Amino acid sequence: YQFEAAAKDLARVRETAPALADEAAYLQMFALYGAGRDEEAARLGEAFPDLYAASPRLPEAALWLAQYAYNRKAYEEAQQRFAAFADRWPRHALADAALILAARAAVRRAEFPAGIALLSRLARDYPESGRLAEARYLQGDALCEMARFEEAILVFDEIVNRYPESAWVTPAWLRK
């Protein structure tokens, strides 16, 4: 891949084609990241809302920053960014995934009640989500971490019975 060349070309597009500047900036974040220029990519992502407040790429840029924080093991920041994404764009196709990732970040910090609360929010706000079995599994896992084993077993049983086609059934059986 030619990430450096792409980053330069996209910077040029941002300067010469204002109508494409937001799309070019969004893609430039990935080119910079791919070139190993992580901090520059993050700075561009941080500036994106101020530079392109009306951009349709704004949610994806925000989600990338949250994932970037998670990948750097900045779990508190990641949790806040993922939860803020779901707050700001609750109808986005990835809002439920953002809540799962916020919960995962909370659990990585051993903030199990916060993780459980975020996963409960997913079930409440997105009752038709295809990620409900995963959310319940993560809740059961957090309950185990808190030594609340009887509650965890009930959660794992629910996964087996309520989501029989889910990939989370086998892990739930193994945790019981």
pTM here is 0.93
Q: Is the pLDDT of residue 1 over 90?
A: no
* Alpha carbons 93 and 105: distance in angstroms, whole number: 20
Q: Tell me the average pLDDT of the chain.
A: 97
Instruction: Give the helix ranges, DSSP H, for 17-94.
Output: 21-34, 38-51, 58-71, 75-88
- Long-range CB contact pairs, 5-10, < 8 A, 24+: 6/31, 6/34, 7/31, 7/32, 7/35, 7/37
pLDDT at res. 115: 98
| b/e burial code for range 42-79 (CB count within 10 A of at least 16 → b) | bebbeebeeebeebebbbbbbbbbbebbbeeeebebbb
Q: Is the pLDDT of residue 176 over 90?
A: no
